[in-house]
Amino acid sequence: MKKTDVYIWCCGMLLFSFVLQSCSREEAMPENQNHQFPAEQKTKNKQANEYFSKPEPVTFSLSERFQNEALVAEPCETTDFGIVLSGYFESIMNDPVFDFDLLNYYLELNRKYVTFYMGDNYYGENGEYNQLAAKRIRELEKFWNIDRDIYLNGQHTSLLNDREILADMIESFDRTVRNRTEAYQKADLLLELNETSSNFPENPYFAFDGFTRSSGLLVIGDGLLQSIIETGIDGDLAFTAILSHEWWHQAQFEYAESWDFSDQLAGPAEFSRYSELEADYAAAYYLTHKRGATFNWKRIEEYFKLSFNVGDCLTESMDHHGTPTQRLLAAQLGYELADTAHKKGAILEPSQVHYAFLEDYYDIIK
């Protein structure tokens, strides 16, 4: 029987549902669907507004969101992050080759590729986070000492512009393609389309994933990092913060049985909120710990404030992931836990951090 993988989507996948920065659990990957090759000829010069006059596609809530003026006018749309994201979307939708099918096709190819890819990696568009990643991974391994193979795949928009890789993606994940030759044919058509576009696939949104998987995989997309940097947050901090949040989800996978916290929670939604708040708590603990990443609270507070604003902005009815206040409070308490340990410099075991969090949990969510 196939082993069930659990995914926690922290970003990207959920952006279309506008629940960014609120991870979500999902059992296994949805089966590959038959991808219809984008009808690029037909839609090449289609304007975004023409799209909106068409019936809504079932799989996207993006259109709904943009059609709903009340939502667009939400005050949180004006946060720095909201502005950056809106800019990405606008740019994509105004692109001459814009097409929802093509958009979805690229997002899925790149997501599945980083999900199943095993091999050499680089982080950041030009590998600018390679050294940092190596350092942080070493630190986190030592810091939490979780007994499992954890590995990080970088996601890049350029993967969708590389003939060999694109053909790999198509051959592996597009069921309408039967062999390598057909994969090349499709890849070449897409590359031609890419030539005429400044968004497909260069827009940061095509590498916007941040998720974790029970297999030990972590994914951080360049686009996700870039969007955070564009709001004025330091890239090294953003990278480290996302990585350490995701890392804690691995601790949750590892200790799932012995911690057994799911029994104490009302249901999947509550479990999700609980897991996210704990990941924020533990990330803040590591980020500020003297033997961890040694950021001071002021510095990481900016990051948490930013990501939570976005979370709030995009989660309207999904508050089970934790409100901004709850998430900031969780992070702050994680910081305080590290701060009290500074004198001794000890690093608590994952289970100790877990139980410390448990003690605070009901205060955080009240």
Residue 218 as a binder of Zn ion (CB under 5 A): the answer is no
Q: State the minimum distance, in angstroms, from the CB of residue 322 to Zn ion.
A: 10
* 93 and 200 Cβ atoms separated by less than 8 Å: no
Binding residue count for Zn ion, defined by CB under 5 A: 3
Task: Indicate the residue among 23 and 207 with the shorter CB distance to Zn ion.
Answer: 23
Tokens of 286: 């590591």
Minimal CB distance residue for Zn ion: 23
According to the binding rule CB under 5 A, does residue 313 interact with Zn ion? no
Q: Which one, 98 or 274, has the nearer CB to Zn ion?
A: 274
Residue 207 near residue 214 (C-beta atoms within 8 A)? no
Shortest separation between residue 72's beta carbon and Zn ion, angstroms: 26
Residues 277-296, one symbol each (x = binds Zn ion by CB under 5 A, - = not), give: --x-----------------
Q: State which residue, 10 or 207, has the beta carbon closest to Zn ion.
A: 10
Residues numbered 228 to 287 that lie near Zn ion (CB under 5 A) are 279
- CB of residue 107 to Zn ion, shortest distance in Å: 19
The number of beta carbons lying within 10 Å of the beta carbon of residue 82 is: 19
Closest CA to 300 of 285, 321, 278, 319: 285
- Least Å from the CB of residue 21 to Zn ion: 8
Closer Cβ to Zn ion, 19 or 279, answer by number: 279
Burial 177-216 (b: 16+ CB within 10 A, else e): beeeeebbebbeebbebbeebebbbbbbbbbbbbbbbbbe
Question: DSSP letters of 71-107?
Answer: HHT-GGGGSHHHHHHHHHHHHHHTSTT--HHHHHHHH
DSSP 7: E
Q: Is the peptide bond before 201 cis (omega within 30 degrees of 0)?
A: yes
Residue whose CB is less far from Zn ion, 91 or 262: 262
Is 10 one of the binding residues for Zn ion (CB under 5 A)?
A: yes
Single out the segment in contact with Zn ion by CB under 5 A; choices: 7-15, 116-124, 176-184, 218-226: 7-15
Stretch that binds Zn ion, among 16-24, 101-109, 132-140, 358-366 (CB under 5 A): 16-24
The site string for Zn ion over 19-48 (x = CB under 5 A, - otherwise) reads ----x-------------------------
Residues 160 and 109: beta-carbon distance below 8 Å: yes
Q: How far is the CB of 360 from Zn ion (least distance, A)?
A: 18
Measured between alpha carbons, how far is 323 from 313 in angstroms, rounded to an integer?
Answer: 10
Q: Minimum CB separation from Zn ion for residue 224, in Å?
A: 13
- Given the complex with Zn ion, which of 279 and 338 has the nearer CB atom? 279
Strands (E), the chain: 6-11, 24-27, 151-155, 210-213, 217-221
Q: Which is nearer to Zn ion, 100 or 357 (CB)?
A: 357
Whichever of 115 and 199 has its CB closer to Zn ion, that residue is 115
Alpha-carbon torsion angle 278, 283, 285, 289, nearest 10: 170
Residues that bind Zn ion (CB under 5 A): 10, 23, 279
